[in-house]
Amino acid sequence: MQSIDLAPDETECMQQLFFNGPTWDGDLVSKAGRTGLVDSGYAERCNGWQQLTSAGFEVAVRAGLGDDKERRDNKRRREDNDRHAMLCAFVRDVGGSIVAPPGALATRSGLSIERSQDGSVRFAISEAE
């Protein structure tokens, strides 16, 4: 297998583009790293956005970033599920529903969230099927 040497800023930029997908110029960790990736054919630019090319994606996967991304995504899903379970337990403990001030609405299996006419938000747990 061919060895590919990337500068530290190129490696950091590749990780960012792999984990986050297309990224706006102002959000890049390193424009110099991005330029190095573009010059090597591992990234491309378009109207202020950059993303990995198929060659860059392949290098990232071979470097193990796919496994890192899967672990990170699995951890995030577990944390989301834990937060959901805690909210469900809290709502059940206070009698099955609570009224909260207006805020971001979300939906999730087993949890219904409705905005009332006065602008408050009602959370309710539905029993598992």
pLDDT tens for each residue of 69-128: 777 777 778 877 777 777 777 777 766 555 544 444 444 455 566 666 676 666 665 554
Q: Name the residue among 118, 123, 82, 80 with its Cα closest to residue 105.
A: 123
Domain with CATH 1.10.10.10 in the chain: 8-63
Regarding the domain delimited by 8-63, which CATH topology (the fold level of the hierarchy) does it fall under?
Answer: Arc Repressor Mutant, subunit A (1.10.10)
A 10 A CB-CB count for 81 gives 11
Q: Supply the pTM of this predicted model.
A: 0.56
pLDDT tens for each residue of 114-125: 666 676 666 665
Q: Are strands 49-52 and 97-100 parallel, antiparallel or unpaired?
A: unpaired
